[in-house]
Structure 1
Amino acid sequence: MIIYPVLKDGATIGVTAPSSGVEEELHELLKQAIERMRDQGFRVVSGKTPWTQVKAKSAPLLQRAEELNSMMQNEEIDIIIPPWGGELLIEILEYIDFSKIQNKWILGYSDISLLLLATTLTTGLATAHGTNLIDLRGEYSDDTTAMWQQVLANKTGETIVQKSSKSYQKEWNHHKPSPCVFHLTEKTDWKTLSNQPVYIEGRLLGGCIDVIHHLVGTPYGDVKTFRATQIQNEPIIWYLENCELTTTDVRRSLVQMKLAGWFEGCSGILFGRSAANTTVDDYSIEDVYREMADELQIPIIYDIDCGHVPPQLTFINGAHAEVRVEDGKGTVIQHFRP
């Protein structure tokens, strides 16, 4: 059974950095994001780790784990939103006390998706793949990003609908800040391999493929047991996004996931837009998608609003979803079914 937290008005946000913290020269960005949340009526409690960054991590692994455990067990904190992702969250997984996690949201993406997926697979607690805190520092958010609050305020048994964005950001331009953090200049176009309308449904699981495939073979990546005990072997829709991998790296990771049984009972895969996906020896990302579709005999939808090419939808790990794509536009309906 999936357990869904509920984001309430005036909720308390816990800010901790289980992966990377924020370098001193960028502290102003984090301060802006925290103030923006307070302006919206949230209470914000920050730990120490968001404000430090040494050797590719916010702090030593035990300090990161202790701060995260403290916030996860603190009944006064309603949602945890790290400042952003990073590189080495995997170091702290074995030190997280999943048995004492309270019913609260964790929101983020990139390296944070490793924590999200491990938490849902291990405990049945729904987690939220979406914006990070730093990207909420603008005077306002685009319509797609802003949906995070509505999605997380959804209650068990309720349904939330999200539409594909109208446009996306081609590249980051931190030297030209704007009232909305993202510079959305390119027309969004959700694609299917068949170039025909596609409809799929199932329970959502996913994250950044760079990091989540490292859960294969660990106690935190037991998809088979999760399916049997938490969702009664319902089909899974995997949503995946690539931060830095070449096409051959993506292929290797997907094959590893396949061999581990992660795609058993899979009804379809959604791939986010990516500025990586570097072609290797004429082997393109579309080739990867076609091979996976042929091998698994499932539909594949790609260039969706997910990941490091914003904006992105808020996907709930564990939620039952219906995904429709037609004429380059997508609709994701999420049902908060136990």
Structure 2
Amino acid sequence: MKYPFLKKQATIGTTAPSSGVDEHLHDVLKRACHQMENRGYKVICGETVWTQSKAKSAPATKRAAELQTMLQDPSINLIIPPWGGELLIEVLEHLDFDCFPEKWILGYSDTSGILLATTIMTGIATAHGTNLVDLSGETMDETTAMWEKVLATQAGGSVTQYSSEKYQKEWQFENPSPCVFHLTEPTEWKTVTGEPVKMEGRLLGGCVDVIHHFVGTPFGDVKGFRQKYINNEKVLWYFENCDLSTTDLRRSLVQMKLAGWFEGCSGILFGRSAGNHPVDDYVVEDVYQELYQELKVPIVYDVDCGHVPPQMTFINGAYAEVEAEDGKGKVVQHFKG
């Protein structure tokens, strides 16, 4: 594994490989850029971040070209898209992964597609965490703010994160505050068995809505990644669900299982979700319980990951030790080769 490093006063490249920002929200993006500059960063915005039409920022070739250019620009140290979207998968075939440098890409939702693909294809670690518009506040909660410390961890080093105290139940766009998130609900990490859990392995994951479509493609060659880059070590999966129903989620997880993604799996983390809509009386806890019975590995859910903020920064490819007990969680990530 290869780990990029976030240096002080880095230059951030902001491009939109999925969705750009509608004109009526340009002020939000400008505010995020301004806040990052106040924190000592320089921000370079690509053309794609300012446009949005037909569920994408621009045609796939343009999105791919802008991302590739920013990745290969030595003056840009870090890539943070404004947010996710719907159709990032279209750009993958137009990227030259052989030319990807060791440079952090940070984000979640649809962005998790480029994160997982990059790590699987290149062995370069990528960062599942905050997106740029979530950094538009004057302040950050402790969980979100860890993105800088995590990305500034040296190769060979380790970094520890703890579960949040509270999470945001719903967005309150009509009630802006100095901190983007309104954290009101007590966080509780839960285990399928109700017992304390300890597990460890190489982190891989992302938004299930997005990454299950990688099954059967080069971008989802988990077996090849394990053989080539992590000496067949076990994988500790983390998933988050944007808006799949419980049956959609179940189908996606079974698809991953049948494709061999869970061979050598040491455990699974599931993020909080505003999705997981029940079908009949089939609820998400049923999905977790069935997966536990099939895989016989620890499963922890309602963790700080995904569309119900705040979220930890998980590094694809890092070796993680995870503990969950009495509603609290701890994640130690080791940046080992």
What band does the TM-score fall into relative to the shorter chain? over 0.9
Asked if structure 2 preserves the Cα contact closer than 8 Å seen for 1:161 and 1:332, the reply is yes
SS in 1 for 2:300: strand
Unaligned 5+ runs, structure 1: none
CA offsets 1:15-38 (integer angstroms, 9 cap, x no match):
000000000000000000000110
Q: Does structure 2 retain, via aligned residues, the 8 Å contact 1:201–1:267?
A: yes
- CA distance, structure 2, for counterparts of residue 303 and residue 197 of structure 1: 15
Which amino acid counterpart does residue 315 of structure 2 have in structure 1?
Answer: I
The alignment of Structure 1 onto Structure 2 pairs a total of residues equal to 337
Deviation digits for residues 253-275 of structure 1 (CA, Å, limit 9, x no counterpart): 00000000000000000000001
The aligned residue for residue 133 of structure 1 is 132
Structure 1 residue 189 corresponds to structure 2 residue 192:
no
Cα deviation for residue 193 of structure 1 reads 1.0
Looking at structure 2, the residues matched to 227 and 239 of structure 1 have their Cα atoms a distance apart, in angstroms, of 16
Hey, what does 2:72 align to over in structure 1? 73
Q: Which residue of 2 aligns with 1:282?
A: 281
Letter in 2 for 1:40: R
Q: Residue type matched to 1:138 in 2?
A: G
In the other structure, the counterpart of 2:256 is 257
Contact 1:160 1:335 in 2 (8 A): yes
- Where 2:219 maps in the other structure, the secondary structure is coil
Give the equivalent residue in structure 1 for 2:103: 104
Tell me which residue corresponds to 1:143. Answer: 142
Q: Distance in 1 between matches of 2:102 and 2:326?
A: 39
2:211 alignment partner, SS class: helix
Paired residue type of 1:217: G
How much has 1:194 moved relative to structure 2? 1.2
Say whether the 8 Å CA contact 1:198–1:325 is kept in structure 2. Answer: yes
Aligned to 2:316: 317
CA deviation profile, 1:63-117 (whole Å, cap 9, x unmatched): 1011001001111110000000000000010001111111100000000000000
- Residue aligning to 1:236: 235
Give the letter aligned to residue 278 of structure 2.
Answer: T
How far apart in 2 are the matches of 1:212 and 1:75? 29
Please name the residue that 2:6 is paired with: 7
Distance 1:103 1:220 in 2: 18
3-state SS in 1 of match to 2:114: helix
Say if 1:12 and 1:44, in contact at 8 Å, map to a contact too. yes
Q: Is the contact made by 1:74 and 1:102 (CA closer than 8 Å) also made in structure 2?
A: no
Over the matched positions of the two proteins, sequence identity in percent amounts to: 66
RMSD between aligned residues? 0.4
What CA distance in whole angstroms lies between the structure 1 residues aligned with 2:173 and 2:80? 21
Q: Note the C-alpha offset of 1:281.
A: 1.3
Task: Give the distance between the partners of 2:265 and 2:38, measured in 1 at CA.
Answer: 42
Matching residue of 2:303: 304
Given the two structures, how large is their TM-score scaled by the length of structure 2? 1.00
- Kept in 2, the 8 Å contact 1:210–1:243? The answer is yes
Partner of 1:156: 155
Amino acid at match of 1:153: A
What residue is the counterpart of 1:337 in the other structure?
Answer: 336
* d(CA) in 1 for partners of 2:30, 2:201: 39
Question: Per the alignment, in what secondary structure is the counterpart of residue 301 of structure 1?
Answer: strand
Letter in 1 for 2:237: W
Amino acid at match of 2:167: Y
Name the structure 2 match of 1:119: 118
Distance 2:164 2:135 in 1: 17
SS at match of 2:109: coil
Q: Which residue identity does 1:33 align to in structure 2? A: A
Alignment partner, residue 174 of structure 1:
173
Q: Which residue of 2 aligns with 1:21?
A: 20
Runs of 4+ with deviation above 3 angstroms: none
- Residue number in structure 2 paired with 1:54: 53
| 1:157-182 residue CA offsets vs partner (Å, 9 max, x unmatched) | 10000000000000011111000000
CA distance in 1, matches of 2:164, 2:327: 11
Structure 1: distance between partners of 2:72 and 2:214: 24
* AA of the residue aligned to 2:95: I
CA distance in 2, matches of 1:18, 1:246: 26
Q: Aligned partners of 2:217 and 2:21: how far apart in 1? A: 29
1:244 and 1:204 map into 2 onto residues whose CA distance is: 23
Structure 1 position 222, deviation (Å): 0.3
Conserved in 2, the CA contact under 8 Å of 1:75 and 1:102? no
In 2, distance between residues paired with 1:221 and 1:198?
28
Shift of the alpha carbon at 1:55? Answer: 0.5
Deviation of the 1:250 alpha carbon: 0.2
SS at 1:111 equivalent: helix
Quote the Cα distance in structure 2 between the aligned partners of 1:321 and 1:220: 22
